[in-house]
Structure 1
Amino acid sequence: MKRLTTAPNLALATLWADLLSHAGVATTVQRAYASSIAGQVPPDQTLPELWIDDEDQIHKARQLLHDLRHPVHRVWACPGCHEVIDGPFEQCWNCGHAMPPPP
């Protein structure tokens, strides 16, 4: 096993671990409940950690995690309702149309 990173909280740690696991990188969360001892040890020692089972997948895991943490930012106009969509979204929130393909 190899430690990938720490997460700021348990919710993000489990979300990242699930997404990595679904992408084919077996990931577990360690120190999930260590925050209960904060105050007795430094706070950064109690953050949840993501560990991958196969050390050969560390580069793939780092790239996937980077992609999850830094989604592509887009600005596009919906062809259905002309709403301007700003962010990593691929579907219009207003009418449900998909983002048009790039020109």
Structure 2
Amino acid sequence: MIAPNLALATLWSDWLCQAGIPTTVQRVWASSIAGELPPDQTLPELWVENDADLERAATLLEAFKHPPSQTWACPNCKEIIDGPFEQCWNCGHPMPPRP
């Protein structure tokens, strides 16, 4: 799986490893040769160690890339929060637990 940059590749790899899917990041330093090679060939890659985990890894990454959207009102300052945020951007209050 190709990642758009090293930061996301590392984040995705850590997240998959925590989910029990051993993953490594390849082409970590390849961005330094962009220009010598086409840029799309220097992007970091995630390698899943076990082929049996590949489908599950792809499903988890897709869920990670598209977190559920939600709307909630901050109980502290009444600000309306949209998106995947779990903390009020205005006052820092955490999202209340869902019923």
* Aligned CA distance change for structure 1 residues 41 and 63 (closer, same or farther; 3 Å): same
**Partner in structure 2 of residue 96 of structure 1:** 93
**Partner in structure 2 of residue 40 of structure 1:** 36
* Aligned CA distance change for structure 1 residues 57 and 92 (closer, same or farther; 3 Å): same
C-alpha contact 1:90 1:98 (8 A) present in aligned 2:
yes
Unaligned runs of 5+ residues in structure 1 are none
Unaligned runs of 5+ residues in structure 2 are none
| Residue 56 (structure 1) aligned to one of 52, 59, 65 | 52
Identity %: 58
Greater relative CO (CA pairs within 8 A, separation 6+): 1
Considering fraction of residues, name the structure with more strand.
Answer: 1
Distance in 1 (alpha carbons) for counterparts of 2:56 and 2:44:
20
Single out whichever of 28-37 and 83-92 deviates more from structure 2. Answer: 83-92
C-alpha contact 2:3 2:45 (8 A) present in aligned 1:
yes
CA RMSD between the two structures: 1.6
Distance in 1 (alpha carbons) for counterparts of 2:79 and 2:26:
43
Residues 21-68 of structure 1: CA deviation (Å, up to 9, x unaligned): 111111100011111111121111110000000110111101110111
Give the TM-score taking structure 2 as reference length.
0.87
| Residue 66 (structure 2) aligned to one of 70, 84, 90 | 70
**Partner in structure 1 of residue 80 of structure 2:** 84
**Partner in structure 1 of residue 22 of structure 2:** 26
C-alpha contact 1:34 1:48 (8 A) present in aligned 2:
yes
Distance in 2 (alpha carbons) for counterparts of 1:73 and 1:99:
15
The size of the alignment, in residue pairs, is 98
Give the ranges of 4+ consecutive aligned residues of structure 1 lying more than 3 Å apart after TM superposition. none
